[in-house]
């Protein structure tokens, strides 16, 4: 009979094989970051606000380096949080390990990471938390923000074949009435990062480079309104 340790090890190997890896361009962009145990950080000079980010399920953190590096160049430090087995659901409060006690920040995530970021925000101290953003993601009842005064940005893509659209629409009730909703025309689910095709996704009608620029543009525009 296999021991628990062996089973856990085998599960880890299987998940590693299935983990989405960054593209060459994302790997190149990641060279500008510093990497520690809990976080990949794109440091901005004279940072206006810190952007804390939860990756999508089974997606390597470096896969978001393209838009993260663009935000850093615009003056916003980006902290891409690391999770066990690249699954934010296993440690939804991981942001506590990367945010300083007096650091003002927004938090957001992609797909599963977005749902977990909303859960974190729902119970976090709002003194330094300035906003929440969701990329191809939605808040659930445990992450409801409808009674908060936090600015919320929700970005989807018209060619997203992974997002459960019916759940997305139904769960809008958990967001504030003044939430900003926007759609990237021609983009897809995987295009919120740079890690190639995601199983079940539709083919994008725009390049990944274009979608990455649009993600960065939308986030910077929203951050300027907050800051």
Instruction: Domain 39-226: give its CATH code.
Output: 3.40.50.1820
- Contact between 121 and 129 (Cβ < 8 Å): yes
The residue behind tokens 């936090």 is 150
pLDDT band at 3 (very low <50, low <70, confident <90, very high): low
Strand locations in 85-179 (E): 105-110, 129-135, 152-157
Q: How confident is the model at residue 1 (pLDDT cuts 50, 70, 90)?
A: very low
Structural domain boundaries in the chain: 39-226
DSSP state at residue 43: P
Phi/psi of residue 198, nearest 5 degrees = -100, 140
Q: Using 50, 70 and 90 to split pLDDT, how confident is the model at 17? A: low
The residue among 14 and 79 whose pLDDT is bigger is: 79
Residue 43: other Cβ atoms inside 10 A: 13
* In the predicted structure, residue 122 carries a pLDDT above the cut 70: yes
For residue 182, the 8-state DSSP code is E
Confidence at residue 18, expressed as pLDDT on a 0 to 100 scale: 82
Q: What's the pLDDT score for residue 20?
A: 97
- Asked if 190 and 198 touch (Cβ cutoff 8 Å), the reply is yes
The burial class, CB within 10 Å (0-12 / 13-18 / 19+), for 200 is exposed
Question: What are the beta bridge partners of residue 46?
Answer: none
The answer, yes or no, to whether residue 9 has pLDDT greater than 80, is no
Query: Looking at residues 189-209, what average pLDDT do you find?
Result: 98
State the pTM of this model.
0.93
pLDDT > 70: percent of the chain: 93
């Amino acid at each position: 009979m296999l021991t628990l340790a062996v089973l856990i090890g085998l599960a880890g190997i299987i998940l590693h094989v299935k983990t989405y890896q960054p593209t060459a361009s994302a790997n190149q962009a990641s060279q500008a970051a510093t990497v520690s145990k809990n976080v990949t950080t794109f440091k901005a000079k004279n940072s206006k606000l810190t952007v804390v980010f939860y990756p999508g399920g089974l997606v390597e953190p470096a896969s978001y380096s393209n838009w993260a590096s663009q935000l850093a160049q615009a003056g916003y430090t980006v902290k891409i949080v690391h999770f066990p087995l690249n699954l934010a659901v296993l440690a939804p409060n991981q942001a506590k390990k990367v945010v300083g006690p007096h650091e003002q920040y927004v938090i957001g995530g992609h797909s599963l990471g977005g749902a977990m970021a909303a859960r974190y925000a729902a119970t976090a101290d709002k003194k330094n938390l300035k906003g929440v953003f969701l990329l191809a993601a939605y808040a659930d009842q445990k992450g409801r923000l409808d009674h908060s005064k936090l600015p919320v940005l929700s970005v989807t893509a018209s060619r997203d074949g992974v997002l459960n659209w019916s759940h997305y629409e139904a769960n809008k009730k958990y967001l504030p009435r003044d939430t900003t909703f926007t759609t990237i025309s021609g983009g897809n689910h995987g295009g919120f990062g740079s890690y190639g095709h995601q199983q079940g996704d539709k083919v994008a009608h725009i390049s990944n480079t274009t979608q990455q620029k649009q993600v960065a543009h939308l986030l910077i525009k929203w951050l300027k309104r907050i800051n």
